[in-house]
Amino acid sequence: MSNQPLVLLAAGGTGGHLFPAEALGVVLMKRGLKVRLATDARALRYSGLFSREMIDVVPSATITGRNPLALARTGATLAMGMAVAFNLIRRHRPVAVIGFGGYPTLPPLLAARLTGVPTIIHDANAVMGRANRFLSSRVSAIATSLPGVLDRDPELAAKTTLTGTPMRPAILAASAVPYAPPEPDGPLRLLVVGGSQGARVMSDIVPGAIERLEPVLWRRLVLTQQVRDEDMVRVRGVYDRLKVNAELAPFFGDLPARLAANHLVISRSGAGTVAELGAIGRPSILVPLPGAIDQDQFANAGVLATVGGGLRIPQAEFTPDRLAADISALAAEPARLVAMARAARGIGRLDAAERLADLVMRVAGI
């Protein structure tokens, strides 16, 4: 067993980076390879494929401005990360290093390149992230989740493979649940999620939108909403007053199953969310996170909006009145919800982990 080839996966410590890495790791292990994860300390909070013994924490820092002192600190941290990464490469001798985005991927990918180890980056967004953009000209191959990401750069496009976003087992299980539209007088199941950066706006806007619905819809609603602890009392107060059937929590550990169980999802449009909505095939109202330099969430939401799988609402236009109108219109047209679910499913790639594993083995020469 000690002669098994090892693949080093590198990812930033958020779910959007870690979940695709985990999904690829599952497939590679089924194919008889060993895997390790190089990441930052945030990943130690996540459970899943990677046990503590399989994780190597690599110092890293995000470049956030041009202040000389801050840049010097960032440089020193990344230099420390490079030293750790070189040691990882030396000890574990991986046959390939695969990066999934985020600044923690820089030291392992650069160390691999300098030592001649084959490298791949995977980018899940419609607009390539900054760390991956920096690495793109330096790696052996590039995998993307969405088409056309690098079409404007022929040199990079030539080494790019469209794989989709690798899906963890819970998403694959949820994808087997067919979409059942709401009956005219039956329950209307609405899921509202926002992630760590987006839950506040959902707490500010969604209760007011629900309040503006016709009372007949209040009685039909089965609402599940992610709500931060500091917003819980005020949000709960609105739904209690309206007598809406609402389950509120800061975090849902079974989110894939909840995505599958609902008729409509209101969410931010991170790459992972958009990919999961496509894999499971659920209609959505997407509110991109504003202020991002690359406007990646706006582009991600556009992928679903363009095919008719979701509605994209810029946050400046995300008002209680606008949201109430959209929910009312969709509730009145179950056939439209079915068409949206079908269109969303059309962008899903359930075999993405297998496709990416094929690319890894080809680049690694195994």
Across 13-23, average pLDDT: 87
Where in the chain are all domains bearing CATH 3.40.50.2000? 6-166+351-364, 173-346
Question: Which residue from 91, 139, 89 is spatially nearest to 111, judged by alpha carbons?
Answer: 89
Q: Mention every residue, 6+ apart, whose C-beta is less than 8 A from residue 333.
A: none
Higher pLDDT, 209 or 40: 209
Instruction: Give residue 283's identity as a one-letter amino acid code.
Output: P
Nearest to 193 by CA among 147, 145, 228: 228
Backbone angles phi, psi at 177, to 5 degrees: -85, 115
Q: Does the pLDDT of residue 43 top 70, yes or no?
A: no
Residue 63 burial (CB count, 10 A)? 15
**Beta strand residue intervals within the chain, DSSP E:** 6-10, 34-39, 55-57, 96-99, 119-123, 141-144, 160-162, 188-192, 221-226, 245-249, 264-267, 284-286, 310-312
- CA 245, CA 187: separation in Å to the nearest integer? 10
Which top CATH class is 173-346?
A: alpha beta
**What homologous superfamily is domain 6-166+351-364 in, according to CATH?**
Glycogen Phosphorylase B; (3.40.50.2000)
**Given this model, what pLDDT does residue 1 score?**
47
Residue 59 is predicted with a pLDDT of 84
CB 8, CB 94: distance < 8 Å: yes
Q: In what order do the strands lie in the sheet with 245-249?
A: 245-249, 221-226, 188-192, 264-267, 284-286, 310-312
Q: At what angle do helices 320-331 and 195-211 cross, to 10 degrees?
A: 80
Share of the chain above pLDDT 90, in %: 77
With cut-offs at 50, 70 and 90, classify the pLDDT of residue 69: confident
Please give the pLDDT value at position 177.
Answer: 97
Mean pLDDT score, 128-136: 93
pLDDT for the residue numbered 12: 87
What confidence tens digit (pLDDT) does each residue in 147-197 have?
889 989 999 999 999 999 999 889 999 999 999 999 999 999 999 998 655
Indicate the SS3 state at residue 6. Answer: strand
CA 165 remoteness from chain centre:
9
160 bridge partner residues: 142
Q: What angle do CA 320, 200, 11 make, to 5 degrees?
A: 130
What value does the mean pLDDT take over residues 125-145?
Answer: 94
Tokens linked to 146: 């969405």
